[in-house]
């Protein structure tokens, strides 16, 4: 039997009492390690984090906590090779895809370390300016943000064991709030190893970071009114979290990052030879294949004018054609594996469901799997579907509300010169994390922005001048907001210092301006 990874709670490494769940190499089918949380004293763990970890963190200033984030980022950078090895084995990712998770996490941590250096040398933040409450300016109102005296529980998804941890932990720890992370069981190893390295190095105060791997049973029951829960995963599990008494009765603050049927849009007025179409094709092919399409931000729906349907299908397919799929250890392979058999079967089912409304423009069967046993490896080639006609796009319902979490996207034509038709179809997604828009004309790009920002957390605009420098549709940058309304969960993460709001309590202070002037002026 493989090694059982210990959990870190109450300032100690604890071995569970159970046999645990095995983590499997999705390419080779071999058992790697085991995780388990049975017998863990959850009440003690939460109390310790809340009291010991929380008070130690809150006694520090923002720049002091930022310096710890910088030290953690440096340490993780030094151990990067070990994380790459775990990622290839447990997530079946090629190096470039591992980078999105591992280097993305380290970069996000480093970004918050820099942002925190410039915050006030204090224990709270000011929010906005004084507001006069009456005719006499002596008595005014000032809002302040104070770190919540609770714990931040993170329940994370399988696809980002590194980034998913650090993009949440960086703003929480910078805010002075202790973290308990429960990674998705399937890929918990990388999260556990990174936490272990940071704990062993003694960077944060005891109790600031805890990890519980394995079952989520009982975790939500520990939450108290000043705790927060940040969940990433499926809409189905999100609804369980939202309905939990901790949220409905104790007002535990909750952030949900759920699934999303993201869009890419080519604006009217382009031609088959336009650079904007080429940029769209490049981005769609990239988004379909990075992490084998297992990205919450990946492009799922591609909207083009009806007259460019065939040209777009050809341009995207030509790029997909070059994608070599198989064992991520093989140097010629560009796209690795899905995470496990369950996801493999779920992608096959989702594809069959969408095919009822669509034609296949590029088939996964075109890809011979390299250096794998197809009966074991969870590898699958990319598939581009299409709804063929604008009226077909109107009739196809499934493509707008089905997230196939794999290398699958659908090309959807809209009526010629009818941007409103495209926008109406995009809105059928019921709220998404990100939409990207491609066009040559800067004015047209600017005009479409407010048509998308009400239903998307991020709008990514690509014109030929930024073709070589834009950061990518699916890449989540810590400077920009991550999250989306409606079906995407309604959450908000990152966005620079905006992320700190979730971990602070906002209060209005009403006092003499003499009192208010004694508060130090650092705002967010
Ligand atoms: P999932 O099955 O919902 O699991 C997510 C997490 O919830 C896991 O840690 C899981 O633990 C835990 N969990 C399961 N049942 C629970 C319960 N009853 N109470 C509390 N926690 C519970 O999702 P997934 O399959 O890991 O992730 C894929 C989905 O996440 C996709 O739909 C994707 O779009 C979405 N996602 C969204 C974002 C975003 O930022 N919006 C990012 C990444 C992924 P176990 O693993 O132990 O079951």
Q: Are 358 and 296 in contact (CB under 8 A)?
A: no
pLDDT, average across residues 357-371: 97
In a 10 Å sphere around its CB, with 0-12 CB exposed, 13-18 middle and 19+ buried, how is residue 426 labelled? buried
Is 173 a domain residue?
yes
Which pLDDT does position 1 carry in this prediction? 84
Same-domain status, 57 and 129: yes
End-to-end CA distance of the chain: 51
Q: Are residues 139 and 222 in the same domain?
A: yes
- In this structure, what CATH number is given to the domain that contains residue 345? 3.40.309.10
Does 229 share its domain with 272?
A: no
Q: Which ligand 1 atom sits closest to the C-alpha of 214?
A: 47
Per the domain annotation, does 482 fall within a domain? no
In this structure, are 201 and 303 located in the same domain?
no
Domain that holds residue 240: 42-88+96-258+492-516
pLDDT in tens, 1-10: 899 999 999 9
Rounded-to-integer distance, Cα 497 and Cα 115, Å: 7
**Per-residue pLDDT at 120:** 85
User: Token match 């906590």: residue?
Assistant: 65
Please report whether residue 433 resides in a domain: yes
Contact 340, 186 (CB under 8 A): yes
- C-alpha angle 302-307-308 in degrees, rounded to nearest 5: 45
Of 144, 149, 146, residue with least CA distance to 523: 144
Q: In the predicted model, is pLDDT for residue 382 greater than 70? A: yes
Higher pLDDT, 120 or 206: 206
pLDDT, tens only, 317-337? 999 999 999 999 999 999 999
Q: What is the mean pLDDT of residues 187-209?
A: 98
User: Number of folded domains in the chain?
Assistant: 2
392-450 pLDDT per residue, tens: 999 999 999 999 999 999 999 999 999 999 999 999 999 999 999 999 999 999 999 99
Average model confidence (pLDDT) for the chain?
Answer: 97
What whole-number distance in Å separates Cα of residue 42 and Cα of residue 45? 5
User: Do 395 and 465 fall within a single domain?
Assistant: yes
Q: What is the mean pLDDT of residues 162-183?
A: 98
**Residues 274-309 pLDDT 10s:** 999 999 999 999 999 999 999 999 999 999 999 999
257 in catalytic set: yes
Are 166 and 134 in a shared domain? yes
Whole-number Å distance, alpha carbon 496 to ligand 1 midpoint, is 24
The CATH number of residue 217's host domain is 3.40.605.10
With cut-offs at 50, 70 and 90, classify the pLDDT of residue 523: low
User: What confidence category does residue 18 fall into, taking pLDDT thresholds of 50, 70 and 90?
Assistant: confident
Q: Determine the 3-state secondary structure of 460 from DSSP.
A: strand
Tell whether 100 and 203 lie within a shared domain: yes
The closest residue, in CA terms, to atom 10 on ligand 1 is: 184
- Is residue 216 domain-shared with residue 300, that is, in the same domain? no
**Strands 139-147, 152-155: pairing kind:** unpaired
Residue 521 pLDDT class (50, 70, 90 cuts): low
437 belongs to a structural domain: yes
Residues in a beta bridge with 262:
299
Are 195 and 230 contained in the same domain? Answer: yes
pLDDT digits (tens, 9 = 90+) for 49-89: 999 999 999 999 999 999 999 999 999 999 999 999 999 99
168 is written with which tokens?
Answer: 């949440």
Comparing C-alpha atoms, which of 482, 438, 427, 444 is closest to residue 460? Answer: 438
DSSP H stretches of helix in 398-505 = 398-401, 419-427, 442-452
With cut-offs at 50, 70 and 90, classify the pLDDT of residue 522: low
Among the atoms of ligand 1, which is closest to the Cα of residue 493?
40
Contact criterion met (CB below 8 Å) for 382 and 404: no
Binding-site residues, ligand 1, Cβ < 6 A? 155-160, 182, 184-186, 216, 232-234, 237, 240, 257-259, 296, 403, 405, 433, 489
Q: Are residues 184 and 157 in the same domain?
A: yes
Same domain, 176 and 277: no
Residue 358 designated active-site: no
Of the listed 213, 283, 296, 358, which one is catalytic?
Answer: 296
268 with 252, same domain: the answer is no
Pairing of strands 504-512, 139-147: antiparallel
The answer on pLDDT for 196 being more than 60 is: yes
Burial of 479 (C-beta count, 10 Å sphere; 0-12/13-18/19+): middle
Per-residue pLDDT, averaged over 350-357, amounts to 97
Instruction: Report the alpha-carbon distance of residue 357 to residue 397 in Å, rounded.
Output: 8
**Counting atoms of ligand 1 from 1, which one is nearest the CA of 157?**
26
Strand partners, 22: 34
Is residue 131 scored above 90 in pLDDT? yes
**Averaged over 78-107, what is the pLDDT?**
98
Tell me, yes or no, whether 107 lies in a domain. yes
Residue 14 lies in a domain: no
């Amino acid at each position: 039997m493989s090694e059982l990874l210990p959990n870190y709670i109450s300032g100690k490494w604890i071995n569970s009492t159970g046999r645990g769940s095995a983590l499997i190499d999705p390419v080779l089918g071999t058992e790697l390690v085991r995780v388990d949380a049975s017998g863990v004293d959850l009440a003690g763990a939460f109390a310790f984090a809340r009291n010991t970890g929380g008070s130690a963190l809150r006694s520090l200033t923002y720049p002091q906590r930022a310096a710890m984030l910088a030290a953690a980022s440096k340490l993780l950078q030094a151990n990067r090779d070990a994380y790459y090895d775990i990622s290839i084995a447990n997530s079946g990712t090629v190096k470039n895809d591992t980078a999105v998770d591992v280097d993305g996490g380290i970069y996000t941590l480093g970004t918050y370390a820099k942002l925190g250096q410039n915050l006030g040398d204090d224990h709270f933040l000011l929010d906005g300016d004084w507001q006069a409450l009456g005719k006499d300016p002596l008595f005014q109102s000032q809002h302040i943000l104070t770190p919540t005296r609770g714990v931040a529980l993170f329940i994370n998804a399988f696809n980002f064991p590194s980034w998913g941890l650090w993009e949440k932990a960086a703003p929480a720890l910078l805010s002075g709030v202790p973290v308990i992370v429960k990674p998705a069981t399937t890929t918990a190893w990388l999260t556990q190893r990174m936490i272990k390295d940071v704990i062993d190095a003694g960077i944060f105060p005891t109790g600031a970071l805890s990890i519980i791997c394995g079952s989520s049973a009982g975790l939500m029951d520990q939450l108290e009114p000043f705790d927060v829960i940040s969940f990433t995963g499926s809409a189905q599990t999100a609804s369980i979290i939202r309905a939990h008494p901790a949220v409905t009765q104790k007002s535990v603050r909750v952030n949900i990052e759920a699934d999303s049927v993201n869009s890419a849009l080519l604006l009217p007025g382009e031609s088959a030879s336009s650079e904007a179409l080429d940029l769209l094709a490049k981005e769609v092919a990239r988004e379909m294949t990075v992490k084998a399409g297992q990205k919450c931000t990946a492009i799922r729906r591609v909207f083009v004018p009806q007259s460019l349907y065939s040209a777009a299908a050809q341009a995207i397919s030509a790029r997909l054609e070059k994608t070599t799929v198989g064992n991520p250890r093989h140097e010629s392979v560009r796209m690795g594996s899905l995470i496990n058999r369950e996801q493999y079967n779920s992608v096959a089912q989702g594809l069959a469901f969408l095919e009822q409304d669509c034609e296949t423009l590029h088939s996964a069967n075109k890809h011979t799997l390299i250096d794998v046993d197809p009966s074991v490896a969870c590898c699958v080639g990319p598939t581009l579907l299409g709804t063929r006609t604008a009226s077909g796009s109107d009739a196809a319902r499934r493509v707008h509300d089905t997230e196939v979490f794999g290398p699958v996207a659908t090309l959807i034509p809209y009526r010629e010169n009818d941007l409103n038709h495209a926008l109406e179809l995009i809105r059928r997604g019921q709220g998404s994390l990100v939409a990207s828009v491609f066009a040559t004309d800067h004015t047209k790009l600017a005009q479409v922005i407010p048509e998308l920002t009400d239903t998307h957390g991020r709008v990514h605009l690509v014109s030929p001048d930024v073709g070589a420098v834009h950061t990518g549709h699916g890449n989540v940058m810590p400077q920009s907001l991550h999250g989306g309304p409606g079906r995407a969960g309604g959450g908000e993460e990152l966005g620079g210092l905006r992320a700190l709001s979730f971990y602070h309590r906002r209060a209005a202070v009403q006092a003499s301006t003499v009192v208010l002037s004694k508060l130090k002026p650092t705002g967010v």
